[in-house]
Amino acid sequence: MATVEKINVAVPAEVAAIVREAVDAGEFASSSEVVGEALLAWSRMRGGPEHAAGDLRSAWQAALNDSTQSVSAEDVLDRLESKYAAMGHATGSDT
């Protein structure tokens, strides 16, 4: 488990309200979690293009290693056209 260090941070009232809303909505268990996740995202963003390129490489490699059967774009578009055509007929619209 990571070592936790407690610090005090002053934020504008608008930011405090956003943090409270996220906790009240159940998105996070505590304001510390909200701030911690925001700081991690900020830290990754500060990593610059090199960090982003590394993330992209990792995602690309994961996609290459994925054994899930692929579907062609043409098949996806055909299915979508059929789906929305059927929905149009069901609602009486022919768009």
Asked if residue 1 is part of any domain, the answer here is: no
Whether residue 91 is predicted with pLDDT greater than 80 in this model: the reply is no
Asked if residue 36 is part of any domain, the answer here is: yes
SS3 category, 25? coil
* 38 CB burial (10 A radius; 0-12, 13-18, 19+): middle
Asked if residue 17 is part of any domain, the answer here is: yes
Q: How far is CA 87 from CA 55, 73, 75, 77, 95, in A?
A: 39, 21, 18, 15, 9
53 or 81: whose pLDDT is higher? 81
pLDDT 10s digits, 43-75: 878 877 777 788 888 998 998 899 888 888 999
> Rounded to whole angstroms, how far apart are CA atoms 27 and 48?
28
6-35 mean pLDDT: 94
Which domain covers residue 49, as residue numbers? Answer: 13-91
